[in-house]
Chain A
Amino acid sequence: MGEFFDIFIGSTDVFFQGLWLTLRLSVVSLLIAIVIGLFFAMLKISRIKILEIIADLYIWVVRGTPLIVQIFILYYGLASIWLIPEFWAASIGLAFHSGAYIAEIIRGSIQSIAKGQNEAARSLGMNRRLTMRRIVLPQAFRRAVPALGNQFIIGIKDSSLASFIGLQELFGVSNTMGSNSFNYLPYFFTVAIYYLVIVLVLTVAVNQLEKKLAVSD
């Protein structure tokens, strides 16, 4: 136990660097994932067959293959055409992955908004685009907050896979330190605590956001 505390305290420098990278990876990939998710959700509800098929295909590929395979294909596969930096390979891979789940979350919440909302907006002369942007999406986002929060938590933990293409994010740091010292366990416990704290902070933040958004309920 004492050894663990020594390692925990003694390694904060390196772990904080890893933490910083993990946070950057997570935030960048989640932002891209929201854009991707929104885009494919729109395709899914477009009522245009070919666009729906494209969205289905994307979601099928993402859900049907492991994230680590997707990251490897991006990093090693694309390297032959365009040498993509590790950070961006990981960020885009993670975004590509989360995007599919976010697309399904957003699509579901859009479709859960009552038809009457759409009709009311249209009856006031608002066009489809305006209705979607001003009336349906704000409500759909509110409704999607808990599920999106959950997806963000998954995204943060999935960012640990970036260590497999050489990024020294949190998990990469713990793995490297463990192998350098031939003493893995304390470092893995340490990294577990870092993840737990991040997820705790995010959970509280999402709960706060839910409360704040509930003022209109």
Chain B
Amino acid sequence: MTKPREMIRVEKLNKSFGDLHVLYDIDLKVNESDVVVLIGASGSGKSTLLRCLNFLEFKDDGKIVIEGEQVEAATHDLNKVRAKVGMVFQHFNLFPHKTVLGNVIEAPIQVKGMSKKEAVKEGKRLLDKVGLGDKYDIYPSRLSGGQKQRVAIARALAMQPDIMLFDEPTSALDPELVGEVLETMKELGEEGMTMVVVTHEMGFAREVGDWVVYMNEGRIVEEGQPDHIFDHPKEERTKAFLNSIL
């Protein structure tokens, strides 16, 4: 059996905001095509961990290895790393002054130097894929939350990332709009995208996740395959958490 390619490895990661220690000795491994789901209560550090992987936050110590290369803010061009690691935010963060298509083609043109023609073609393909083929020229303010988030996914995909990070992508959505976004993410996972997803959607974690990581107070308490975590959790805190939300 060939060894799966390792996309992300985190070793002994620590992070504090001032006096507040938010991540303790985190170890995490993500292999190619894996969908890793981080679950846990608000404030457990899962979003901070995700943001460290994209260097929107900087670790205090520990190692972050992206596609075999240990990345340090001081010595690496983080823009290059970020270009390979897409991120989807809770509050979408679409560019309001650009159309839907404008949002999607911005980075490929400006960062990758792609020709406008090519970027438009690829951007339209991605928007079609996320079901927004009729919204190219609309401004984000005219879209529903679910549509906005799907544009945000297309925008991240336009950079042809090797890894996609999702930071509570459905938490800001009306309940009836959650499904369409999860569906898009599920398709992406099935196509083999390597994904790290912070979410409160346990159904998604169970169905789409290959590996589930439960965090509490800045530590990884338990991790394993979905059926292990959801059906046979070993740790009391995991059980308590699952009971509280299911």
A-to-B contact residues, CB < 8 Å: 114, 116-117, 119-127, 130, 134-135, 138-139, 142, 215-217
Contact = CB atoms under 8 A, between A and B. Distances in A.
A124 B82 contact: yes
B82 A120 contact: no
Considering residues B89, B106, B156, which has the most beta carbons from chain A within 10 angstroms of its beta carbon?
B106
B96 A216 contact: yes
A127 B141 CA distance: 26
Contact of A130 (B97, B111, B152): B111
Contact of B56 (A122, A215, A217): A122
A124 B56 contact: no
B56 A119 contact: yes
B7 interface: no
Nearest to B90: A116
Contact of B97 (A114, A119, A124, A139): A139
A125 B97 contact: no
A124 B111 contact: yes
A215 B98 CA distance: 10
B23 interface: no
Contacts of B107: 121, 124-126
A138 B97 contact: yes
B54 interface: yes
Considering residues B97, B141, B155, which has the most beta carbons from chain A within 10 angstroms of its beta carbon?
B97
Given A126-B111, A134-B110, A139-B96, A119 B139 contact: no
B208 interface: no
B93 A119 contact: yes
B103 to A, nearest CB: 9
Contacts of A121: 95, 107
Contact of B96 (A119, A125, A217): A217
Interface string B131-163: 000000001110000000000100110010000
Contact of B106 (A116, A124, A127, A216): A124
Contacts of B152: 120
A180 to B, nearest CB: 53
B93 A216 contact: no
A126 B110 contact: yes
